[in-house]
Amino acid sequence: MRICLTIRGSGSSLGLETNNQHTTNWFAHFMRYATTSARNCNFAVRNNCFAKRVCVFGLSMLFAFFANARIFAQEPTATSRPHILLIMTDDMGWMDLACQGNPVLQTPRLDAFAAESVRFTNAYAAAPVCSPTRAALMTGLAPARLHITQHGADQPSFWPDDRAIQPPKSEHELPLASTTLAERLSDAGYATGFFGKWHLGADKKFWPENQGFDVNIGGCGLGGPPTYFDPYRIPALPPRKAGEYLTDRLVDEAIEFMRREHDSPMFVCLWTYNPHYPFEAPKEYVDPYNGREGAGLKNAIYGGQITATDHAIGRILTELEQLKIDDETLVIFTSDNGGWSGATDNRPLREGKGYLYEGGLRVPLMIRWPGVTQSGKEIATPVVSMDLTSTILDAAGVQLDQSSKPDGESLRPLFRGEQLAREELYFHYPHFAFHKANRPGAAIRRGSFKLIRRFDDDSVELYDLEDDLGESNNLALQKPELCRELNAALTAWLEETGAGIPQSLHTPAAKK
């Protein structure tokens, strides 16, 4: 295995080659410590680039001698071990950006970013609600396999009185035994910072700082902020300036982290609380939407939240340019699930958050990876949240053994014009959402066809998304053979993942 240490400003790199994974991880931590110490202390080497290079090279040679490793010279490239900026919004719908086709919402910064990126037109969240998608992205594993399938802890207030089935038990904390994306990148020498919504455990021991992140600002057990204006009453975010908007504060904190850490590889998670409820935004962002409610906009304040988020994300993208690392940074933008129908207009998609229809699952996704992606390109291949985990690990040069095999695939082949190895995507939501209006079920997409199985009566729905994006024409009766084939594949996947299945309320186990 090879790892590379770049001496910024020197035009050269040092690398270590060893077949020992423990040695590699030890070296990565050692070099992070050495370079951080050199940056922070006041000894004479600090401001002497040549002397610092000599010291680092000497330490590397000394370590290599004792580790029986080999030092080699390596020319730096724009895309080797890039910085990684992963931006995920909360409850942003597939149609909540102008570049996605919304006729009302103003999102100039994200529209410009989309023009510089690859935009995926068939991107899916791992689940139609937030926590399962977050867990999937942090681990690379499907929510069904993790048994994290509900938004936070499931509770009786979500269960309709007239339900025929009882949802299975679901975990709502990301176990410390899980190896997270942040932990893998930290082991590879990345500085790791988390800024925003976590929602993977109320107990502090499950928060980002105990899941591989060096810094955690805002990440706790809350599913939404008590308010978007300081004081926020978010446990992991102390007050700073009365009235300050939450998304601006999170971006400020992320920028400060980047300014401090950009001399070595960084992994920055900016997981905004916006545009999740409550409806709150600065007046200057709301006013342009007053009186424009209609197609594309249900609520003027929600429109303000979208534009405020766009502005804040624009600031962090500008910071990459000012730090002169925009051409060294992989930037991913997406959402954790579809838009909540009570807040936004998801049309032409059917329904929204909490549903297995497209409105609950389909999300925006743009990726800019300098030297790898092509600006302005659109890709129609269906992809899912876990693919982002695999893509990030691929970019960082982190290889997993078979026992740690993720449920996603690196998207790099698509950027080269090739295809992914898989044929299907699977989804599992065996719960009632907070609105109680959905039917628990599971789904499979293969090609343009999507089958949904309902757990309350084992009925199925089949849609051809190429011709029927709004899922209005159920083809189950017209294509029984295809239904049987897809339903069998879905059953096999549910069994392989050990997915929790609802039980009839007529069975003794469900009544406990």
Beginning with the edge strand found earlier in the chain, give each strand of the sheet holding 377-379 in spatial order. Answer: 215-217, 191-196, 266-271, 83-89, 329-335, 365-368, 118-120, 377-379
Residue-wise pLDDT for 385-430, tens only, equals 999 999 999 999 999 988 888 999 999 999 999 999 999 999 999 9
The answer to which of 5-9, 114-118, 159-163, 473-477 has the lowest mean pLDDT is 5-9
Residue-wise pLDDT for 70-116, tens only, equals 333 333 343 479 999 999 999 999 999 999 999 999 999 999 999 99
**What does the pLDDT read at residue 119?**
98
Distances, alpha carbon 264 to alpha carbons 122, 188, 190, 208, 370, in Å: 34, 11, 7, 21, 18
pLDDT at 39 over 90: no
506 band by pLDDT with thresholds 50, 70 and 90: confident
pLDDT at 3 over 90: no
Residue 275 CB contacts under 8 Å (≥ 6 apart), including other chains = 89, 90, 91, 92, 96, 302, 305, 306, 309, 343, 344
**What does the pLDDT read at residue 197?**
98
Q: What's the whole-number mean pLDDT along residues 134-157?
A: 96
Residue-wise pLDDT for 328-386, tens only, equals 999 999 999 999 999 999 999 999 999 999 999 999 999 999 999 999 999 999 999 99
What mean pLDDT is reported for the chain?
A: 88
Q: Which domains does the chain have, with CATH numbers?
A: 2-74 (no CATH), 83-152+180-415 (3.40.720.10), 439-511 (3.30.1120.10)
**What does the pLDDT read at residue 508?**
60
**What does the pLDDT read at residue 402?**
82
**What does the pLDDT read at residue 401?**
86
Q: What is the CA radius of gyration of the chain?
A: 23
Q: What's the whole-number mean pLDDT along residues 481-509?
A: 93
pLDDT at 247 over 60: yes
Q: What's the whole-number mean pLDDT along residues 140-169?
A: 95
**What does the pLDDT read at residue 24?**
47
Least Cα distance to 331 among 363, 378, 307, 365 occurs for 365
pLDDT at 509 over 70: no
